[in-house]
């Protein structure tokens, strides 16, 4: 038994050493060195998603899991950090034209997007859902049949909802708006019947007059995103995220913001 424990401990040490060596090797890539030489990491982040990427208008400071993740990456690189506000519509173009080095902005990993950008291993897994007004009496998915659902421009939510509508023989109407705060306001004003996006995002917009339905769909993995040509940078970031998953660093961030990653979703 003692021999088995010793061998297990040795294996873990070797695994950790291998991960450290991989990260060090990736740090030698041209893209990583270019960021270090510049002394600044330009990161695209959300500014309207409480607990993930949120800009406090009172003190003009950012907070959230993704903000902390960006800080950890900048610290590993030994550089300062510059936050660049992005939306679901602008984050891709800002990567393409080089205004940001990476994007950490609830960017869902899909096969289609992987053809255009590099994604790291997921740092968070969520599932989509619905925020509704309590006064609406909407209790389940079927109650949304024929209703108007608000979605953010540039997201994949409407595509996912159409798949569900077809499968469940339901019909949804849609309103596309540019930001989550706009959708929250529209819901409160009863201009839409439901606001749909990832559930962890919805938690930041719950009020005394609204509630999240007890129904989720389509789990979504969030990854740190870089330009398709920046493979060296992606390998470096992937090594960091993998290491932070294993050493509990990501879990500490979940705990800090009281976030619980999804493990499954209803269909």
pLDDT, tens digit only, all 267 positions of the chain = 555 455 445 444 444 444 444 444 455 689 999 999 999 999 999 999 999 999 999 999 999 999 999 999 999 999 999 999 999 889 999 999 999 999 999 999 999 999 999 999 999 999 999 999 999 999 999 999 999 999 998 788 999 999 999 999 999 999 999 899 999 999 999 999 999 999 988 988 999 999 999 999 988 899 999 999 999 999 999 999 999 999 999 999 999 999 989 875 443
Secondary structure element (H or E) that encloses residue 242, with its range: helix 231-246
Domain 2-123+223-256 maps to which CATH number in 1.10.3720.10, 3.40.190.10, 3.50.50.60, 1.20.200.10?
3.40.190.10
Supply 93's token pair: 């173009």
CB-hemisphere CA count at 13 Å for 218?
20
**Residue ranges per domain, the chain?**
2-123+223-256, 127-219
CATH class of residue range 127-219? alpha beta
Contact in structure between 77 and 98 (CB atoms under 8 Å): no
Can you give the length of the chain in residues? 267
Secondary structure element (H or E) that encloses residue 113, with its range: helix 111-114
Is residue 101 classed as helix, strand or coil in its secondary structure?
coil
* Nearest partner of 164 among 131, 185, 141, judged by Cα: 141
Give CA angle at 100 (97, 104), nearest 5°. 125
- The whole-number pLDDT of residue 10 equals 45
Indicate yes or no: pTM above 0.85: no
How many C-beta neighbours within 10 Å does residue 18 have? 10
Whether the domain at 2-123+223-256 and the domain at 127-219 fall into the same CATH topology: yes
């Amino acid at each position: 038994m003692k021999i088995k424990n010793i061998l297990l401990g040795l294996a873990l040490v070797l695994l950790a050493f291998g991960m450290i060596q991989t990260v060090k090797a990736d740090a030698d890539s041209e893209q990583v060195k270019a960021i270090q030489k510049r002394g600044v990491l330009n990161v695209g982040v959300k500014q309207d998603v409480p607990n993930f990427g949120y800009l406090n208008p009172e003190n003009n400071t950012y907070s959230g899991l993704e903000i902390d993740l960006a800080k950890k990456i900048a610290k590993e690189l030994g550089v300062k950090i510059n936050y660049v506000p992005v939306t679901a519509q602008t984050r891709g173009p800002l990567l393409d034209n080089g205004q940001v080095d990476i994007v950490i902005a609830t960017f869902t990993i899909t096969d289609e997007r992987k053809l255009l950008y590099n994604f790291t291993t997921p740092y968070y897994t969520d599932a989509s859902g619905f925020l509704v007004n309590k006064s609406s009496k909407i209790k389940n998915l079927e109650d949304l049949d024929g209703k108007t659902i608000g979605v953010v421009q540039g997201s994949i939510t409407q595509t996912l909802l159409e798949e569900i509508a077809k499968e469940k023989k339901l019909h949804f109407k849609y309103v596309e708006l540019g930001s989550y705060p706009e959708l929250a306001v529209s819901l409160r004003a009863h201009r839409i019947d439901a606001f749909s996006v990832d559930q962890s995002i919805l938690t930041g917009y719950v009020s005394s007059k609204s509630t999240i339905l007890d129904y989720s769909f389509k789990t979504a993995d969030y990854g740190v995103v870089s330009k398709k040509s920046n493979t060296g940078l992606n390998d470096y970031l992937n090594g960091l995220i993998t290491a932070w998953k294993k050493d509990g660093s990501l879990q500490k961030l979940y705990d800090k913001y009281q976030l619980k990653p999804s493990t499954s979703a209803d269909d």
